[in-house]
Amino acid sequence: MKKDSSVELLRVFASLMVIACHIKFGHWEGNVLDPSRTLWACIVSDGVGIFFMITGFFAFSGKKPYKDQVKKLFMSVILPSACLMIASHFFNYRGDIDIIYSLKEVLYAFLTWGDHMSLYPHLWYIFEYIKCFFAIPLLKLACKEEHRKVRYGLIALGLITVIFQGINYYKPPKFGYWASYPVSVITYAMIHMLIGYEIYLRRDKLKGNPRTLILGLVLAIAGNALRFFCIMGSGIDFFLQWHSVPGYICTIGYGLLFLSINLKSIRLQKTIGWLGGMTFGVYLLHWMAIIMLHKYQSNFMIKISLLNAPARPLLELVYIIFYSIFIFIVSLIGTAICTYACKGIKLVFSRLKKSKN
């Protein structure tokens, strides 16, 4: 399948968002919310939601046998994640944490579906993705044209759950909390996937459409504004979550915004396609890069100087943008090295096998 450059660009954007979410400043100063830091936190909160939406672009339209998909899941997702967990010990925790403890963390992470991951907190996404993967055959039935009403119903019930949950957090009714959880029959990630499927069905109408671009931009701004005012009004961080009402609004906005982009340059399309293909590796490695750089205090003095600097909000934004790009590049280099090393090893073994035959 030919890569869609607008989707690959969206992957890169989501990767930068995830990194920015992990390196941003804390938005609480004691018991008081810092408005500018809260705003930056709002803007970078939707990377994971975008990734689940992108999964929905392609998850229900493939014709590859499910057995082959399971094999690909193990080789391209589960095995690299397990290797990363083990490698993280030697790069990040050697001398601080016992190797046996690290190996137990790896085992517990897989046995508890990501609930026990103190050393590798960002990998919860992998386990959520695996849950969604095993639900794909059932969800795929709802993605048939004759079952579109079922699909719309699943999305509607999911969004009703999200709305009730937002009400519970922002201003619970006087009679108590809304019993919202039994309403939805699919997870938050699956709602993103089905919404992504609906959006991508209309990709030909969205591509190069300026109205789509404007609508996506308006939704992204409106979602972040709603998120900001909900947090400032309630003092609750739940609205930063990718599965909150503002999270869904922003994710849909970003999807429309990027799918409306029509890149004409072949060279640019190839570059974006290559970068997009590396984003999963960047996701895996960025946490290791952040921990390593924090360990050697490479960005500690930057943060200290920003704390006392005048016009701090602007400097904080500059810090978030450039440090996220730096972490992305470091992780990209690591991903490229691992990718091409694996391809080289595979080529050597295939040639050895041929020579024996």
Question: Quick one: residue 30, left, alpha or beta (phi over 0 = left, psi -120 to 50 = alpha)?
Answer: left
Distance separating alpha carbons of residues 180 and 50, to the nearest angstrom:
24
Burial of 223 (0-12, 13-18, 19+ CB in 10 A): buried
Helix 35-43 / helix 312-356 crossing angle, nearest 10 deg:
30
Question: Do 132 and 187 meet the contact criterion of CB atoms below 8 Å apart?
Answer: yes
Is residue 62's pLDDT more than 60? Answer: yes
User: 29 pairs with which residues across the strands?
Assistant: 32
Summarize the confidence of residues 178-195 as an average pLDDT: 77
Quick one: pLDDT band at residue 14, thresholds 50, 70, 90? Answer: very high
Summarize the confidence of residues 265-280 as an average pLDDT: 92
Quick one: pLDDT band at residue 264, thresholds 50, 70, 90? Answer: confident
Q: What percent of the chain has pLDDT over 90?
A: 38
Question: Looking at residue 331, what is its pLDDT?
Answer: 94
Mean pLDDT taken over the chain: 83
When mean pLDDT is compared across 51-65, 82-96, 190-204, 229-243, the lowest value belongs to 82-96
Burial profile 143-168: b = 16 or more Cβ within 10 angstroms, e = fewer: beeeeeeebeebbebbbebbbbbbeb
Summarize the confidence of residues 228-252 as an average pLDDT: 92
When mean pLDDT is compared across 37-41, 303-307, 342-346, the lowest value belongs to 303-307
Summarize the confidence of residues 88-103 as an average pLDDT: 66
Give whichever of 67-76, 155-164, 166-175, 272-281 has the largest mean pLDDT.
272-281
Is residue 111's pLDDT more than 80? Answer: no
Summarize the confidence of residues 326-349 as an average pLDDT: 90
pTM: 0.89
Residue pLDDT, tens place only, 21-48: 988 888 887 788 888 889 999 999 999 9
Is residue 272's pLDDT more than 80? Answer: yes
pLDDT, greater one: 307 or 49: 49
Residue pLDDT, tens place only, 196-235: 999 999 998 999 899 999 999 999 999 999 999 999 988 8
Question: Looking at residue 52, what is its pLDDT?
Answer: 94
